[in-house]
Amino acid sequence: MADLLANEQLNKYESARSKRSAIFDSDWQTISQYFLPQESDINVTKTEGITGWTDRIFDTTAIQAAQTMAAGQRNWLTPSSEPWAQFEPPESMRTGGDDAAIWLGKASDITMQELARSNFYSVMNIAYLHVGIFGTDCIFCEEGKAAALNFRNTKVGTYTIEENDEGVVDTVRREFKLTGRQAIQMFGEDALPDKMRTAIKGKGQDRSFDFVHAVFPREDSQRLPNREDGANKPIASVYISKDFRECVSVSGYDEMPYLVSRFAKWGTDSPWGYTLRI
């Protein structure tokens, strides 16, 4: 069953990736070379180092403009020096005294403190660059180890998105790499495919392996009633070894962990965002 799920999700990812690549990747590659050269390997292969990454940079106006726009978004939307969001009770609870407002006020303070303790603001710096340059950004929020929350930037060209009937992104499939050592830390050695464990034991801890994280809504028919474990959560979370086409983790979330924002949407049925550049 797990292998069937892995193949199903990998096939869906490849289909969506091919469609995205045919329409957007080339444009994103051109844009990144002038606005964000450190991520200009969207549809070309580049090695570590400076050569090949900054060859198209003859003037830094585009880079500075993108950084200015990102700084403006952060200062106005999520300033780290002051509270920028708070919880409030619904209208039906506002007539029963101040208890709900006081409790939610404390919850707001704790939320702001936990965001400050996490890597949220450093990730948002890159997120605002992405949404300003490419028109789309995707952030992954998960439970952290060093802090309560951990955020990850999702690089343009490494993920696909799908919308529900209301135009809200409810499905994300992200491709990423882990070394053998990182894979063991993240999933545990017993969860890895047999062939991967063999490769890692053969002095392959530094070898990179490809994974896909598929997050999508579970149908009610796929969930057992009155069960709250990961496999029965409303949002499915499936980690797949792309190299060996096997699931390494099947769990779930109560809410969507990927935060997708679009500056403006294309005028077609595409879920991707768009930023006007002159």
Identify the CA nearest to 35 among candidates 135, 168, 144. 135
Q: Which of the four pLDDT bands, split at 50, 70 and 90, describes residue 1? A: low
* Distant-in-sequence, close-in-space partners of 115: CB < 8 Å, separation ≥ 6: 121, 149
Cα distances (angstroms) measured from residue 24 to each of 9, 16, 137, 160, 274: 22, 12, 14, 11, 10
Give residue 80's pLDDT.
Answer: 92
Q: What is the pLDDT of residues 68-87, one digit of tens each?
A: 999 999 999 999 999 999 99
Q: What is the mean pLDDT of residues 176-196?
A: 95
User: End-to-end distance of the chain based on CA atoms, in angstroms?
Assistant: 51
Give residue 55's pLDDT.
Answer: 86
* Distant-in-sequence, close-in-space partners of 139: CB < 8 Å, separation ≥ 6: 123, 124, 127, 151, 152, 153, 154, 258, 259
Give residue 96's pLDDT.
Answer: 62
Does position 246 have pLDDT exceeding 70, yes or no? yes
Does position 7 have pLDDT exceeding 90, yes or no? yes
Q: Is 72 left (phi over 0), alpha (psi -120 to 50) or beta?
A: alpha
Q: Residue with structure tokens 């980690």?
A: 239
For residue 223, give the amino acid letter: R
Indicate the range of 102-106, 169-173, 229-233, 240-244 predicted with least confidence: 229-233
Q: What percent of the chain has pLDDT over 90?
A: 75
Average of per-residue pLDDT values in the chain: 91
Instruction: Name the strand (E) or helix (H) holding 269.
Output: none
How many of the other CB atoms lie within 10 Å of CB of 185? 12
Q: What is the pLDDT of residues 96-140, one digit of tens each?
A: 668 888 899 999 999 999 999 999 999 999 999 999 999 999 999
- DSSP E strand stretches across 159-228: 159-163, 169-179, 208-217
Give residue 278's pLDDT.
Answer: 53
Instruction: Name the strand (E) or helix (H) holding 241.
Output: strand 235-241
Give residue 50's pLDDT.
Answer: 65
Q: Which of the four pLDDT bands, split at 50, 70 and 90, describes residue 220? A: low
Q: What is the pLDDT of residues 223-236, one digit of tens each?
A: 666 667 767 899 99
Q: What is the pLDDT of residues 38-59, one digit of tens each?
A: 999 999 888 777 677 888 899 9
Q: Which of the four pLDDT bands, split at 50, 70 and 90, describes residue 276? A: low
Q: Which of the four pLDDT bands, split at 50, 70 and 90, describes residue 2? A: low
